[in-house]
Amino acid sequence: MRRCLVCALALTLAAPAWAADHLGSYTWTPDWPEAGGFSALWLGPDGEQFATLSDRGYWVQGRLVRDATGAVTSVRQVTHGPLLRSTGGRLRGKEFDAEGLARTEAGWFVAFEGVHRVMRHDTLDSPPERIPLPPAFDGLQANSGLEALAASADGTLYAIPERSGAVERPFPVYCYDTGQWRQPFGLRRDGPFLVSGADIFDGRLYILERHFALVGFRSRVRSFDMTGGDERLEMESGLRDHDNLEGIAVWQDADGRRRMTLVSDNNQQVLQRTEFVDYVLD
């Protein structure tokens, strides 16, 4: 009996500290050649209208169809096209690695990690304008630059690189408002997890992270207050529960539940999949 009590106590102590409920995962197989590699996600307030970006330099907009539980069951009304340069032409070479997406009253903002920069679009199919960049962006690692972009209710942009440069160094958070960049705080880096997406909801910053473990991916979501404090673990998946999750949108459904929808980057590989993943966080 004593051994059973000890085992029960150990299981209790090892139980996850989050209450995220996985509603479902929908595998999407678009039928045009450039589809796949989706690395960012924006959702409308109703959780149906969506936009996503490919790290091959393409945008997609459409509508998510959900079942009675709120999980995605299909994708409808899709339009898509290439992201453009400020001169109006197609992106070229390292220019097209789009990784972060945010929307404010000023338009759409796209973060790139191949050539580290943030661009503003009136619409996703229009030529953008470049936002002035801070000298700190010059020191970002190759292929590990701006991976996440989010916007607060007042229009402030928050950009976060995939890596911090050293395991013991926090992930820097760069903020853009009033025409200037600053780096007011960092987020604790923990183990092998690297940043892959971000969103802001109800005054909290949500960070999607992933760990590639040779045979698959593990993902997790942490949230922070807007100073980088009050860290909370919202969700952590097991190995291969999901594919390579890179886009995150946090929203509230009609029942008042705090919801999270994620999208995966299939790296345009036949053994990987593009999936929309839904969780309830409350």
225 domain residue, yes or no: yes
| pLDDT band at residue 28 under the 50/70/90 scheme | very high
Single out the residue of 274, 266, 167, 160 nearest to residue 222, CA to CA: 160
14 domain residue, yes or no: no
Domain count, the chain: 1
| pLDDT band at residue 181 under the 50/70/90 scheme | very high
15 domain residue, yes or no: no
pLDDT score, position 18: 58
Which two tokens mark 82? 């290439």
What percentage of the chain carries pLDDT values higher than 70? 94
Give the domain extent around 189. 22-280
pLDDT score, position 273: 95
203 domain residue, yes or no: yes
| pLDDT band at residue 128 under the 50/70/90 scheme | very high
Distance CA 34, CA 241 (A): 26
Distance CA 91, CA 58 (A): 10
Query: Averaged over 150-164, what is the pLDDT?
Result: 96
Q: Residue 238: how many CB atoms within 10 A of its CB?
A: 9
Which two tokens mark 170? 């926090």
105: CATH: 2.115.10.20
pLDDT score, position 166: 78
| pLDDT band at residue 10 under the 50/70/90 scheme | very low
pLDDT score, position 15: 38
2 domain residue, yes or no: no
Q: What is the pTM of this model?
A: 0.92
What region, left, alpha or beta, does residue 127 occupy, with left being phi > 0 and alpha being psi -120 to 50 degrees? beta
Q: Is the pLDDT of residue 214 over 70?
A: yes
Single out the residue of 99, 58, 55, 101 nearest to residue 78, CA to CA: 58
Rg (CA), the chain: 19
3 domain residue, yes or no: no
10 domain residue, yes or no: no
Which two tokens mark 148? 């996440």
pLDDT score, position 114: 83
Q: Is the pLDDT of residue 9 over 60?
A: no
* 3-state SS string for the chain: CHHHHHHHHHHHHHCCCCCCEEEEEEEECCCCCCCCCEEEEEECCCCCEEEEEECCCEEEEEEEEECCCCCEEEEEEEEEEECECCCCCECCHHHHCEEEEEEECCEEEEEECCCCEEEEECCCCCCCEECCCCHHHHHCCCCCCEEEEEECCCCCEEEEECCCCCCCCCEEEEEEECCEEEEEEEECCCCCCEEEEEEEECCEEEEEEEEECCCCEEEEEEEECCCCCCCEEEEECCCCCCCCEEEEEEEECCCCCEEEEEEECCCCCCCCCEEEEEEECC
